[in-house]
Amino acid sequence: MCTKQAVSRMFGLMEIRDAKLEDATAICEVLRQSVTNLCIGDHKNDPAILGAWLGNKTPETLKSWIEDSSSQMLVATEGDEVLAVGAIMDAGEITLNYVLPSARMRGISKKMVMALEARAKERGAKTCTLNSTGTARRFYLAMGYAEQEPKTGMFGAIVYPMLKTL
């Protein structure tokens, strides 16, 4: 039988939807693969930075973030596979935007950021803010974000604070 999941995987139909508690393990895998393999320019394989960055990427922590009523977490899926994850606080801060390395450069993160911005607008936010990695810096600049002075982020890597008026 052709399930909705099988059809969307067969035809590469990507959808963005709210994250569910049962997505927590798959989201963790996206985060861990994305940080480890795509953000090497940021953590430089420094065990202290990488360890801190991955330290809170556990299914338990993810479940608590999914349940957090002051933020929203979205996933990009194809069939039953989670390809990317994004999260935004009601005040407009994007706190997560990560894609599986194998799903990179397919326009998924662009659609994810647009969906997060739409959620922020619905919640009354006038701006979106975020701390970009060096890896994603040019991506956000191309999406209309303006950058401020770089600083050392919470995991020890340099981050690029950015803001966009919605």
Ligand X SMILES: CC(C)(COP(=O)(O)OP(=O)(O)OC[C@H]1O[C@@H](n2cnc3c(N)ncnc32)[C@H](O)[C@@H]1OP(=O)(O)O)[C@@H](O)C(=O)NCCC(=O)NCCS
List residues near ligand X by CB under 6 A. 34, 38-39, 97-99, 104-110, 130, 132-133, 135-136, 138-139, 142
Torsion of CA 124, 128, 130, 134, to 10 degrees: 160
Query: In which residue are the tokens 């950021």 written?
Result: 113
Give 43 or 63: the residue with its C-beta nearer to ligand X. Answer: 43
> Shortest distance, CB of residue 142 to ligand X, whole angstroms?
5
Q: Which two tokens stand for residue 165?
A: 């008026």
What residue number has its CB nearest to ligand X? 109
Closer CB to ligand X, residue 24 or residue 31? 31
Indicate the residue among 23 and 53 with the shorter CB distance to ligand X. 53
* Cβ nearer to ligand X, comparing 2 with 51: 51
99 contact partners, CB below 8 Å, separation of at least 6: 30, 34, 38, 76, 83, 84, 108, 109, 112
Q: Which is nearer to ligand X, 66 or 99 (CB)?
A: 99
- Helix or strand run (H / E) with residue 72: strand 71-78
* Least distance (Å) between residue 36 CB and ligand X: 10
Q: Which pair of structure tokens corresponds to residue 132? A: 């970009």
- Measured between alpha carbons, how far is residue 22 from residues 104, 109, 119, 137, 158 in Å? 24, 22, 22, 31, 33
- Tell me the closest approach of the beta carbon of residue 136 to ligand X, in angstroms: 4
> Angle 51-99-104 (CA atoms, 0-180°, nearest 5)?
125
* Min separation Cβ 64 and ligand X, Å: 20
Least Cβ distance, residue 119 to ligand X (angstroms): 16
